[in-house]
Structure formats: C-alpha cells, structure tokens
Amino acid sequence: MFETILAEEYEFGIPEVVLRGWHTLLAEYLSKSPAYDDLEMLNLTLPKDLVEDIRRYYLAYQDHPIVQEIMIGFYDSAAQYLD
C-alpha cells in the first residue's frame, strides 16, 4: 500500500531511506484500528475542547455494535482508497 514514493516527496530533500521508513511507519499505523491513546495525538493539531468532545464520543460509542461494524468495514476497505 505504501511501497511507492511519489516524485514530489523527493522534492523535500529527504533521503530515500527516511522516506521508506516513514512509509513503513504509516502502513503499520494505518493497519490498526483506532485506539483511545491515539486521541493524545489530536492535541497537537486540534483545539482542546474539540479533542474532549471526540474523547467523550469515543467512550460513549466504543462498544456500540453498529458503530463497530461501520468502522471495521471502513478500515477493511480503506486500502483501495490509499493506493
């Protein structure tokens, strides 16, 4: 899924070995379902109140069978959108 390095990625002057490492890291991360601990990363880019809303929704719906079915379906089919 992340084997191809795009030409524009090389334009940043990053060594290929680093780009390949980044692709490997992304592939591994995206191969897993989201976890509660992932919410901490959102604090880097989103307002705290929004992260707290997301955290509340996550806790409220994490065991909801229909939500789980939808999310599992999304992750199972996401590869076709990333290639």
The residues spanned by each domain of the chain are 1-31, 34-83
CA dist 16 and 9 (Å) reads: 9
pLDDT score, position 16: 93
| pLDDT string in tens for the chain (83-residue length) | 678 898 999 999 999 999 999 888 888 877 776 777 778 888 888 899 999 998 898 888 888 899 888 877 877 777 666 65
Fill in the amino acid letter for 57.
Answer: Y
pLDDT at residue 69 in the model:
86
Q: Could you give the residue ranges of the DSSP H alpha helices within the chain? A: 7-10, 16-30, 39-42, 48-61, 65-82
